[in-house]
Chain A
């Protein structure tokens, strides 16, 4: 199993670095230019701020969700995950509908005589990145909370801990374990931002490294420059992963007895605070989703029949991708949790920081001498989807896998529980909740992306995201909004089915 994980990790690293090398080799080297410094500075600023804000805001939201029980809590948790699954362009238009110059909030403000608040600028970029990544951060931190055995909270309660004591002795060590990884993940995601950063950044001052790579490939036709920029971008992702790895402290809470959590959540102003946090976060995340629905509903009537075919194709790809990504992520997480080589962690974070354009170009260059690339469209799509979702799957499974190994590794080993039996009797049931969530996430994310494989497209097999793009590119804005709604609904449905399935199968 460990050997397989090492091979997987090496494969993921190779998939990130080989295409980059192929591009550099094809171009005869790497190069950089003066304005790259400005792009680097802006990229670092926006990614660091986005990560910091997303994760800081996620802590109170996750805590409120962890300690409060109310009707609709499960639905809220699931719905709040939706923004992360949105295709970028869809998310941008939904945000503009709410926060834009002619958006809901500014219209409301104008009605009561307030001056318009512009959304374009660094704050617009941050708004969008927090919208897209807050759900992921909340989920990662919430998993951390849920992974603390209820016995520890019970102990705290028996010792008469006040909320501050609980924070100090239970929550802070847990956060110490979870936050560095969450920060690094959001940082790496935002490193590669391009359409969001440009559109909401308001102009060329918001030039990120990924946009500079576009410029190198499409405007300058200079692949060595693209490779140089991509190397910097990947290097930043690696640095973030290494920093997270350095900062992570295992909380060592051990395992519990799966007793239901019966702690009394604190009342008074803390209760009001939790309510406020949930209302604000819910509003911030759900309003743009509502905008998406109101924008898309009228367009549903104009949808071409080809939407069904495209949807079927996208779902098939998503399911296959999810299966592969979750299998790969699980074996990596288990291997690291069992004390496997730590560079595996790096391999599972680096793909986030890979430049989609350079990755696609590099794969194309590697494959072209062997086979006509369009013939490999499907395998390459699955490969790239797996690579791109692996970091999330790994990051979400790792704490759970660690807790599993710490709690039950010895017992399983002493009973000779190995291989498939160990998977079936120990790993799958104990990790059902995060596995369901990861499978849903991987499937939904795989519904959305098409950038990397544009070079492999044949034009004959239209997927749902491509259909949205085609509709938008031919004035059919209404139908495009309808197709986007179908895309988001299907992504969300896939996510929900897996997530709910995982929660149902979980012993807790």
Chain B
């Protein structure tokens, strides 16, 4: 009976705490877990806002947008954290978001200025490998295609890194993308629904490389004191994932919501990011020791409209090449 009781009790604070304003932030699962940024962010913001910060979670970035579109203006969320640049065109078209009124984030390797979506962290997609098992990793998609190496990637239809890889190849090769995918087909060991399954397979030694982030080796180095993982720099450059926050137009706490977005740019929020979300902070603050050993030379990023315009075509090319 305990959950029933708990379910009833969760209704109570809504009445009891009517005095304190509640800010509801919708975000992905791993953000709010015990080892994600959530707990520290909640504590730090509640110290300054005089409000109660509550998280609602569900799925990843694409799932968040799908849910927000489903809820429409009836959503209980005031702020969303976790959309990315591949979703902003769709997000803007939905009309669900209000301008945030903040200065552009200062710590990105490219210029990114959007009235509705504000970066709070970012990273480069990269293929991660184990240095003890692979001495000379491929230095480009072409080199990867020519090798016998097996990689695990994610499905663009159900995973944001998977979609990122689609955009990466498209941004680097344009009309040649189908040919690149065809040549990569025999290197793709398998495609997983999400990042976790792919990374799990890689850690188990099933694949030589996995699609992840340049910051992934930092986790193993810092948290596990394991220096065996690294990422392979590709000559084509590396595609960026920028994680974004936005204010819901339907929010009944618009002021508080904008305050929260401003807070995402503050050191209190930003300093938590590297070692909880394992991404680069969006502002220029010092990085933890060992977080970064080398950087890609070139950053790739398609504009929101371009990304929206080519995604269907890019998916079809990918499906056709890998289905053979």
Contact = CB atoms under 8 A, between A and B. Distances in A.
- Determine whether A and B are in direct contact in the complex, meaning some CB atoms lie less than 8 angstroms apart: yes
Interface of A: 26, 35, 89, 92-93, 96-97, 100-103, 120, 194-195, 198-205, 207, 211, 214-215, 217-221, 295, 304, 306, 313, 316-317, 320, 361, 364-365, 368-369, 372, 374-375, 377-379, 454-455, 457-462, 466, 469-477, 480
B219 interface: yes
A459 B157 contact: no
Contact of A219 (B34, B62, B188): B62
Interface string B89-100: 010000000000
A218 B62 contact: yes
B107 interface: no
A378 B29 contact: no
B48 interface: no
A361 B193 contact: no
A97 B6 CA distance: 39
Contacts of A316: 2-3
A461 B156 contact: no
B20 interface: no
A466 B196 CA distance: 13
A198 B155 contact: yes
Interface stretch (B66-74, B119-127, B237-245): B66-74
B296 interface: no
Given A214-B158, A219-B156, A221-B69, A454 B63 contact: yes
A369 B74 CA distance: 8
A473 B219 CA distance: 12
Given A102-B206, A120-B189, A211-B157, A473 B196 contact: yes
Contact of B66 (A218, A460, A461, A473): A218
Contacts of A102: 204-206
Given A218-B157, A375-B10, A472 B196 contact: yes
| Interface residue SS majority, chain A | helix
A475 B6 CA distance: 31
B195 interface: yes
A202 B196 contact: no
Nearest to A102: B205
Interface residues of B, number: 68
A364 B67 CA distance: 10
B182 interface: no
Contact of B33 (A92, A93, A377, A474): A474
29 contacts: A100-B204, A101-B206, A102-B206, A194-B193, A195-B192, A199-B192, A200-B190, A203-B185, A203-B188, A214-B158, A215-B157, A219-B156, A219-B158, A219-B311, A313-B3, A317-B3, A320-B3, A364-B70, A458-B57, A459-B57, A459-B58, A460-B10, A461-B3, A462-B33, A470-B29, A470-B30, A472-B200, A474-B278, A475-B199
Interface in B6-65: 6-7, 10-11, 29-30, 32-36, 55-59, 62-63, 65
Given A203-B323, A474-B278, 5 more contacts: A204-B319, A304-B35, A369-B74, A457-B56, A458-B56
B29 A466 contact: yes
Nearest to B188: A203
Nearest to B11: A375
Nearest to A120: B190
Contacts of A471: 33
Contact of B30 (A120, A372, A458, A473): A473
Given A199-B190, A316-B3, A475-B219, A306 B157 contact: no
B318 interface: yes
A502 to B, nearest CB: 24
B96 to A, nearest CB: 12
Contacts of A204: 155, 191, 318-319, 322-323
B29 A473 contact: yes
B195 A473 contact: yes
A474 B36 contact: yes
B204 A97 contact: yes
